[in-house]
């Protein structure tokens, strides 16, 4: 059997596996070429293609994960199928990830934030607003969400951003075409967006829309767009988007509460305005490998270590917030949360830098200003 090699894709971080005429794309990044042995190719031919993930640095954990009970909670092959779709088109949908009782709490959390910050549009419930919120920390560290992130990123996982994007009925703003990674200063770009549906998300109320295969693109700097209301105040190049739409089309990502979609940081995606009578709310979570360094000054300097350990000392991890009455909603397990937080925080290394002195709402408004000015990545 002829050997195959993993090589860089021109202009993008994906890896290509060429086996004869067959080409498969893998979106794990690495900095070296790897020749696939005859034995490994035979395993591919025998129907176990996800051994391939073991060939890249942040994928060595996958064989053990497939054997673990934790992964079995999704059913046989669910995450492997998601990995195949993610590799080919840059996104995938995973159904019924978060249980209904936790989704109901997330919905209550959004309602609480709406009452607490009546002057802030609900599309802008950014992570600085809720960084000291115990329920937010509990939600982004939900084991089933982190299981998904771990499958793609490795055993050491942090959450560096989590943003409720809630589009009110008839008035919800669009999110214009963009690539998430264009707003993040991460090196390397070992990141995964996990989008949790808090409400039903449909074409009518402004669900996500994605261009299959556009994760093959390099990152493009977005242009400021203030000629129409839009959540990011910016958009990707219109000519580039139109070219890819004509070539690959658009997929509407319709979700039920508790479903998640995942997508690559290079993927072109958007969502339309909500002109329906139903709210559309989702939690947009950014997970990274702890082998990724954060550089965005003041905005992404306080990730939460949600699984594994800080083995690289690249970032300064914030402590998990304690439950404080009035600072978040009541939630299931809040009585045990204090003991859990104490154990988690005890294991964290000392912080190497302090958080900004601004209040959460001040930091959030600063972030919105940076988005509006097109300087969020500075």
67 has a pLDDT exceeding 70: no
Measured at the CA of 155, the angle between CA 356 and CA 102, to 5 degrees, comes to: 70
Distance from chain centroid for Cα 252: 18
For the chain, give every domain's residue range.
4-60, 100-373
Which is nearest to 278 in space by CA: 210, 206, 208? 206
For domain 100-373, give the fold: Jelly Rolls (2.60.120)
228 has a pLDDT exceeding 90: no
**Predicted model pTM:** 0.81
352 has a pLDDT exceeding 90: no
Give 12-62 pLDDT, tens digit per residue: 333 333 333 233 333 333 322 334 455 554 554 454 433 333 333 333 344
The full DSSP string for 255-321 is B-TT-EEEE-TT--EEE--B-SSS-EEEEEEEEEETTSEE--TTTS---EEEES---S--S-PPPPP
Instruction: Decide if 122 contacts 110 (C-beta within 8 A).
Output: yes
Distance from chain centroid for Cα 235: 19
**Rounded distance between C-alpha atoms, residue 153 and residue 292, angstroms:** 10
Instruction: Decide if 196 contacts 142 (C-beta within 8 A).
Output: no
Give 113-134 pLDDT, tens digit per residue: 999 999 889 898 887 788 789 9
Which burial class, exposed, middle or buried, applies to 254 when counting CB atoms under 10 A from its CB (0-12, 13-18, 19+)?
A: middle
Q: What average pLDDT does the segment 62-70 reach?
A: 45
Which is nearest to 287 in space by CA: 173, 370, 194, 224? 194
In this structure, what token pair is assigned to residue 285? 């979570």
Provide the sign of the torsion angle of the four alpha carbons 294, 299, 300, 304, taken in this order. Answer: positive
């Amino acid at each position: 059997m002829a050997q195959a090699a993993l090589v860089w894709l021109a202009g993008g971080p994906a890896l290509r596996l060429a086996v004869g005429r067959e080409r498969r794309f893998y979106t794990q990044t690495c900095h070296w070429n790897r020749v696939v042995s005859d034995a490994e190719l035979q395993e591919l031919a025998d129907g176990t293609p996800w051994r391939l993930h073991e060939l890249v640095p942040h994928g060595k954990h996958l064989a053990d994960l497939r054997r673990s009970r934790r992964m079995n909670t999704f059913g046989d092959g669910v995450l492997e199928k998601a990995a195949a779709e993610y590799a080919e088109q840059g996104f995938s949908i995973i159904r019924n990830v978060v249980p209904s009782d936790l989704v109901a709490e997330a919905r209550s959390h959004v309602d609480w934030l709406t009452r607490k910050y009546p002057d802030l549009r609900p599309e802008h419930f950014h992570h600085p607003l809720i960084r000291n919120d115990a329920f937010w920390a509990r939600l982004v560290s939900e084991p089933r969400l982190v299981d998904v992130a771990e499958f793609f990123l490795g055993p050491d996982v942090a959450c560096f951003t989590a943003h409720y994007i809630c589009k009110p009925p008839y008035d919800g703003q669009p999110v214009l075409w963009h690539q998430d990674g264009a707003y993040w200063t991460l090196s390397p770009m070992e990141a995964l967006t996990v989008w949790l549906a808090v409400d039903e998300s449909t074409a009518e109320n402004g669900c996500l829309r994605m261009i299959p295969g556009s994760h093959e693109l390099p990152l493009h700097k977005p242009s400021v767009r203030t000629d129409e209301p839009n959540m990011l105040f910016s958009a990707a190049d219109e000519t580039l988007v139109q070219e890819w739409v004509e070539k690959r089309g658009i997929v509407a990502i319709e979700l039920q509460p508790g479903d998640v979609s995942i997508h690559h940081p290079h993927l072109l995606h958007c969502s339309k305005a909500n002109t329906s009578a139903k709210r559309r709310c989702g939690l947009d979570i950014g997970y990274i490998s702890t082998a990724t360094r954060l550089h965005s000054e003041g905005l992404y300097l306080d990730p939460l270590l949600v699984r594994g350990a800080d083995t690289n000392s690249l970032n300064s991890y914030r402590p998990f917030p304690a439950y404080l009455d009035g600072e978040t909603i009541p939630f299931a397990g809040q009585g045990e949360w204090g003991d859990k937080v104490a154990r988690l925080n005890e294991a964290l290394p000392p912080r190497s830098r302090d958080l900004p002195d601004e209040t959460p709402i001040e930091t959030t408004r600063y972030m919105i200003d940076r988005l509006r000015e097109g300087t969020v990545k500075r």
